[in-house]
Amino acid sequence: MRLKRTPLLASIVALVAVGGVLNRTAYPIWVSNYSPRVDADISGLQADQLLIALAGFREMVAGILWVRADTFFDEGNYDAILPIIRVVTMLDPKQIDVYATGMWHIAYNFTDEQNRSDRRYIPSALALGSEGARNNDYTYELFFETGWLWYHKIDDDYDNAVDWWEQATERKDMQVARKNILAMAYLRAGKFDEAIDHYEGLLANAQAELKKNPNEFANRQNVDTLEGNLDNLLVRLAQRGNFAIKGGYYDQWSYDTRPPYDVGFSAQVTVEDSKVLRVEGTWGVQPVGTRVRIVLRDRDYASGRPAAMVWARSNQVDLDPEKNVTFMQDGLFVKNQAFFRRVDMSRDPTMYPFSSDNYVVEFYYNPRSGPPHIQDRFGYSGEGLTDKNYLNTEVREGQRVIFASLELTRDQLLRQGEWSTKVPIVRTKGYVATGSRQTDEVINVPGLRNEPEPTE
Amino acid sequence: MNAVLSIAKTTIGEAIRRRVLLVILLIGVLFLVIAPGLSVLSARQNYTVLTSFTLGIIQLTSAVIAIVLTVYLLPNEVERRTIYTILSKPVYRWHFLLGKYLGAVGALAMMMLLMSTVLVLVFKIMQRDASMEDVMRLATAPIFFFVQMSLLAAVAMFFSTFVSPIVNIFLSGGVYLIGTLFSPVFQDLSNNKNLSPAVKGAATLVHTVVPNFAQYNIQSGIINRGPELRSVELYYATIVGYALIYITVFLIAGMMVFDRKEV
């Protein structure tokens, strides 16, 4: 007896339809709960690695590869680690340590001969952190690490650090002691009320914990720390005049940030040799340790903005940075009201390809990135800061920062063409020669409230 | 129904006497036993490596057994001409096919049970602090591997009705590969707004029609952390129901082909 084909075919079609519906129901649940990676990007894996993934040995092989990466760390073979990081995170996206170490490695460890890191890698590091957070959203760790990259490495755009750390703090496993740092990010982002609220919330929790376990030393210590932090913050906000600004009576009383202090900024850049700069200038602030940010980059760098960069460009991890662009960032250390730095980019041609025709040299100082004792005078938003030539209120909305920009051409930087025999020198308006002040062994440390010394 | 069960029983007996399957099984068990020694090679904690490696061994070994076992069932009967003896009795062809499939799944179950027992023993010896709950969590993965392999066996059984065993190995392996690894790719394509409707439609069709083997891989939740599903049982029931539907589909399709095949 032959089977009747029509009813069987009809039943197959009906069953496939029901199966399709079940698949559409079950598969998203599997992706969000059982899939090793949420965004399911396996396109970077090679055929043999795909087979490993298929065979179910993801974690095992990823672990072995990571041990191999450790050997490369020891040998200083940093380039070899990059592909391993990518493969390991593809094979085993639950290895939080690999994401965290990978981000740090990419953002910090590719340096030139003078230990300036290659910041062209930062977008890759951010994308890696972002991917790791998406694949491990049950834990605070990669939200914290990505926030740290914004706060510490990029040291700018603090709203991003706030966003990441707010997400980290929402996770149940966030360490209590680490929660304090969100208040620091709020301060640098200019969100004073949020910082106070955050500290008060943490203090209330800590006091409740102490009440439950009064003999626990860590509970007592946590309460003490938070009380100290909150006290400091309130005193600083009061003395710097932030409460007065909010209340609209800043002009009526005396605060540490009044009157604004003229930092007397000026700078000169000399191209001493091909790709070698001598940067010097004045900064009339007497305490030692200010660092003025200097950036040299392609003038038409697509992600470049005045005094800023667009760092978070894509969620896709691309471990090959833009190799044909030049971006150098350094900190000019101020001593005796002057700075001097020899920036040698000649020994790192891959990091500084100088393939563009025109470049900008930017000088930037924002008190938000400064230490507390400097902020005490300049305020969080530069209320106590001024400069007759380079005070800028546009590059950072609502903030008073110092910003100056100079231009150089490729021929000047490479000392070629008409500049092979002439020494290119560019300087800011009102440049004051520093003499030997910055290179002196003796450091003068008078009070910040004194008038600046007469310039030479 | 007695005929189906008799064929299934005979098939199980044949399967466990086949040396190639026993060798594959032996290799799998051997790897399970030496697995703890390999954990020192990896940077991750012993628990992670041990669990990942042993479950990987079970999945790989089971897939090989499921394919090798099933692809030869029908062709061997035809080649040895024993099929004529069976079909000359009051047994329908679909009885024969169903009996062969159930026998293959029964043999697969026995072999996977053996490997799972070794898995649990090794795990208990190496992780002495592991609670009964941990062991039960670990044992959940092989159960769903079994469902996955039963589906794979149905695919191989369907293909064995009209292709040679060697071609069948590649076809079944290919379907398993697509259904395991490329489900996310097809889903991404079907959700991609930048693609043309034709490409999206094709991707949706493939994602919907090709059996999805990936959703039986629940070891990531066991290795890394427990799932946060509100109703795990409902999920499990859904994917088992899905497997049963697709097994039925492949068996019906196989029966339709085999019913008209000249043997």
Closest in A8, A67, A92 to B41, CB measured:
A67
B38-70 burial, b if ≥16 CB within 10 A, otherwise e? Answer: bbeebbbeebbbbbbbbbbbbbbbbbbbbbbbb
Distance CA A269, CA A409 (A): 13
Flag whether residue A137 sits within 8 Å of chain B, measured between CB atoms: no
CB–CB of A428/A268 below 8 Å?
yes
> Taking CB atoms and an 8 Å limit, are A19 and B255 in contact across chains?
no
CB atoms inside a 10 Å sphere around CB A184: 18
> Taking CB atoms and an 8 Å limit, are B246 and A57 in contact across chains?
no
Which stretches within A330-403 are classed as H helix? 372-378
Average pLDDT of every residue of chain B: 85
> Taking CB atoms and an 8 Å limit, are A31 and B246 in contact across chains?
no
Comparing CA positions, the residue from A262, A284, A280 lying closest to residue A388 is A262
Q: What is the CA radius of gyration of chain B?
A: 20
Look-up of token digits 């800011």: A428
List, in sequence order, every residue forming a beta bridge with A271; answer none if it has no partner. A277
pLDDT over 90 at A144, yes or no:
yes
List, in sequence order, every residue forming a beta bridge with A329; answer none if it has no partner. A295
Cβ within 8 Å of residue A143, ≥6 positions away: A133, A164, A165, A167, A168, A171
Comparing CA positions, the residue from B251, B81, B106, B258 lying closest to residue A11 is B251
> Taking CB atoms and an 8 Å limit, are A64 and B41 in contact across chains?
yes
- In what helix (H) or strand (E) does residue A201 lie, and over which residues does it extend? helix A192-212
Token code pair at residue B16? 């466990």
User: Chain B residue closest to A20 (CA)?
Assistant: B208
Cβ within 8 Å of residue B129, ≥6 positions away: none
User: How far does A161 lie from chain B, in Å, by closest CA?
Assistant: 27
Flag whether residue A18 sits within 8 Å of chain B, measured between CB atoms: yes
User: Chain A residue closest to B177 (CA)?
Assistant: A54
pLDDT over 80 at A50, yes or no:
no
Q: What is the ipTM of this complex?
A: 0.83
Q: What is the pLDDT of residues B95-119, one digit of tens each?
A: 899 999 999 999 999 999 999 999 8
Distance CA A18, CA A24 (A): 10
pLDDT over 50 at A322, yes or no:
yes
pLDDT over 80 at B39, yes or no:
no
pLDDT over 90 at A67, yes or no:
no
pLDDT over 60 at A13, yes or no:
yes
Q: What is the pLDDT of residues A88-132, one digit of tens each?
A: 888 788 888 889 999 999 999 888 999 999 999 999 999 999 999
> Taking CB atoms and an 8 Å limit, are B53 and A60 in contact across chains?
yes
Burial of A266 (0-12, 13-18, 19+ CB in 10 A): buried
Which residues of A, range 55-114, sit inside 8 Å of B by Cβ?
Answer: 55-60, 62-64, 66-67, 70, 92, 94-95, 97
- Chain B residues with CB-CB distance to A92 below 8 A: 44
CB–CB of A116/A341 below 8 Å?
no
Flag whether residue B213 sits within 8 Å of chain A, measured between CB atoms: no
The letter for the amino acid at B233 is E
Residue B165: cis peptide before it, omega within 30 degrees of 0: no
pLDDT over 50 at A15, yes or no:
yes
End-to-end CA distance of chain A: 112
Half-sphere exposure of A438 (CA within 13 A, CB side): 24
Flag whether residue B220 sits within 8 Å of chain A, measured between CB atoms: yes
The letter for the amino acid at B202 is A
DSSP helix/strand/coil, A174 = coil
Helix axes A217-239, A181-188, angle to 10 degrees: 10
Comparing CA positions, the residue from A320, A328, A318, A330 lying closest to residue A356 is A328
pLDDT over 90 at A229, yes or no:
yes
pTM of the model: 0.75
- Chain A residues with CB-CB distance to B55 below 8 A: 56
Comparing CA positions, the residue from B15, B51, B45, B18 lying closest to residue B32 is B51
Look-up of token digits 């040396």: B19
- Chain A residues with CB-CB distance to B207 below 8 A: 23
The letter for the amino acid at A448 is L
| Domain residue ranges in chain B | 2-260
- Of residues A96 and A434, the one with the higher pLDDT is A96
The backbone region for A129, taken as left when phi is positive above 0, alpha when psi lies in -120 to 50, beta otherwise, is alpha
Of the listed ranges A24-33, A106-115, A329-338, A379-388, the one predicted with least confidence: A24-33
Distance CA B99, CA B2 (A): 10
> Taking CB atoms and an 8 Å limit, are B215 and A3 in contact across chains?
no
Distance CA B189, CA B203 (A): 6
Burial of B138 (0-12, 13-18, 19+ CB in 10 A): buried
Distance CA B7, CA B98 (A): 9
Distance CA A426, CA A269 (A): 5
Q: What is the pLDDT of residues B196-221, one digit of tens each?
A: 888 888 888 887 888 889 889 887 77
Q: Strand locations in A146-290, DSSP E?
A: 261-262, 266-273, 276-282
pLDDT over 90 at A361, yes or no:
yes
Test the A interface: residue of B49, B183, B216, B220 with most A CBs within 10 Å: B220
pLDDT over 50 at A456, yes or no:
no
User: Chain B residue closest to A28 (CA)?
Assistant: B215
CB–CB of A86/A49 below 8 Å?
no
Comparing CA positions, the residue from A343, A337, A229, A324 lying closest to residue A278 is A343
- Chain A residues with CB-CB distance to B242 below 8 A: 19, 22-23, 26
Question: Domains plus CATH for chain A?
Answer: 47-244 (1.25.40.10), 261-427 (no CATH)
Distance CA B32, CA B116 (A): 9
pLDDT over 70 at A263, yes or no:
yes
Task: Look at residue B192 in the predicted model and tell me its pLDDT.
Answer: 72
Distance CA A59, CA A57 (A): 6
Of the listed ranges A193-207, A393-407, B11-25, B57-71, the one predicted with least confidence: B11-25
Distance CA A451, CA A437 (A): 17
Signed CA dihedral, A217, A219, A224, A228: sign only: positive
CB atoms inside a 10 Å sphere around CB A43: 8
In percent, how much of chain A has pLDDT > 70?
90
Distance CA A427, CA A281 (A): 9
Task: Look at residue A368 in the predicted model and tell me its pLDDT.
Answer: 93
Cβ within 8 Å of residue A270, ≥6 positions away: A277, A278, A279, A280, A423, A424, A425
- The mean pLDDT of A186-209, rounded to a whole number, is 96
pLDDT over 60 at A450, yes or no:
no
- The mean pLDDT of B158-171, rounded to a whole number, is 93
Distance CA B191, CA A410 (A): 46
Written in H, E and C, the secondary structure of A147-163 is: HHHHHHHHCCCHHHHHH
Of the listed ranges A3-17, A67-81, A374-388, the one predicted with least confidence: A67-81
Angle A93-A98-A102 from CA coordinates, rounded to 5°: 115
User: How far does B16 lie from chain A, in Å, by closest CA?
Assistant: 24
Task: Look at residue A412 in the predicted model and tell me its pLDDT.
Answer: 96
Which residues of B, range 88-147, sit inside 8 Å of A by Cβ?
Answer: 92, 94
The backbone region for B164, taken as left when phi is positive above 0, alpha when psi lies in -120 to 50, beta otherwise, is beta
Tell how far CA A144 is from the center of its chain: 12
Flag whether residue A3 sits within 8 Å of chain B, measured between CB atoms: yes
CB–CB of B77/B83 below 8 Å?
yes
CB–CB of A142/A376 below 8 Å?
no
> Taking CB atoms and an 8 Å limit, are A59 and B223 in contact across chains?
yes
- The mean pLDDT of A59-75, rounded to a whole number, is 76
Q: What is the pLDDT of residues B131-161, one digit of tens each?
A: 888 888 888 899 999 999 999 999 999 999 9
CB–CB of A280/A268 below 8 Å?
yes
Task: Look at residue A40 in the predicted model and tell me its pLDDT.
Answer: 44
Burial of B35 (0-12, 13-18, 19+ CB in 10 A): buried
Average pLDDT of every residue of chain A: 88
Flag whether residue A54 sits within 8 Å of chain B, measured between CB atoms: yes
Distance CA A316, CA A131 (A): 8
- The mean pLDDT of A73-90, rounded to a whole number, is 82
Token code pair at residue A424? 């290119």
Closest in B214, B218, B238 to A22, CB measured:
B238
Test the A interface: residue of B27, B67, B242, B252 with most A CBs within 10 Å: B242
Torsion of CA B4, B7, B9, B13, to 10 degrees: -160
